[in-house]
Amino acid sequence: MENKVLGLHHITAIANLAQRNYDFYTKTLGLRMVKKTVNFDDPGTYHFYYGDEKGNAGTILTFFPWEGIGKGRNGAGMATEIAYAVPEGSLDFWKERFANDNVLVGEAVERFGEIYHPFLDPDGLSLSLVVPKTVDNRIGWSTEEVGKDVATKGFHNTTLTLNELEPTARVLTDLLGYSQVAQEGDRYRFATSTIDTANIIDILVDPTAKRGHNTAGTNHHIAFRVKNDADQMELREAIMSAGLQITPQIDRDYFHSLYFREPGGVLFEIATENPGFDVDEPLAELGQSLKLPKQYEGHRSEIEKVLPELK
């Protein structure tokens, strides 16, 4: 089968306080709120989408902010770190900004010839900034405080923590079209050549790692990008033929989704580019108003009373 996967589409995580999450990602990190909607399965909870100007695939970090859910714990069977690509020469800006905003940061570490600068969001989600060794021409969303010369460009890679390598590696290589491109100790790097950004998955193998606790400050799932429905359904057939259970196609309003859990326990999604985030509001107004799935529109007044007010 021709490789249909075009790197990462989005990553979804869990937060606690909606306002705190909104402030951190739109103000401290300077991302755009691309879509403000609700959880399809729990409309009393927001679903936030943060990214670049258009919400391009490979830039979108989404959150379910469940108020009072409590802090989670990273562990095996999870995506445990998200790395954002930033422009060369921007790191001093980010160090100063994080210090001024009391962001918890860690010591820089080198991986595969790149320097990662780790930090935590207010819920403890593990993030990092990296200047890629290959050119990343994406243009990040800019604000009054975060200019284009320093703005995050989108995902560089994400890390999966697993008890063993081979079962998940086979899914990446045999089904999703990735290849192993490097190894450093217990960290294995996989990449796809179909696109040159947001195209890297690292697997950190730890046979003794306990399973994580998937609440605030942890990643819920990672989504891989395909061009359209036809490519998605062809990939679905391949995944089913490999003996993995996968959902029917689900309409998420802004993309179409399939979900399956790979053998190591990480929830994978296959998401289409179509129809996009401007399907229900103009590009200039993305994220400004609450958008509800059509099945909940008749209950808007009740839902708005339950959702925390954002300032």
Separation between Cα atoms, residue 284 and residue 53, nearest integer Å? 9
- pLDDT, residue 3, reads 76
**Which residue segment(s) compose the domain that 259 sits in?**
8-306
How many domains are there within the chain?
1
pLDDT of residue 151: 98
Instruction: Judge contact between 94 and 47, C-beta under 8 A.
Output: no
Is 237 contained in some domain?
yes
Q: Where are the alpha helices (DSSP H) in the chain?
A: 18-23, 91-100, 166-170, 229-241, 300-306
pLDDT of residue 1: 60
Helix (H) or strand (E) holding 289: none
Q: CATH no. for residue 180?
A: 3.10.180.10
Mean pLDDT in runs of 10 for the chain (311 residues)? 89 98 98 98 97 98 96 97 98 98 98 98 98 96 97 98 98 98 98 97 98 97 98 97 98 98 98 97 97 96 96 91
Q: Is the pTM of this model over 0.75?
A: yes
Q: What is the pLDDT of residue 2?
A: 75
32 assigned to some structural domain:
yes
- Give domain status of residue 34, yes or no: yes
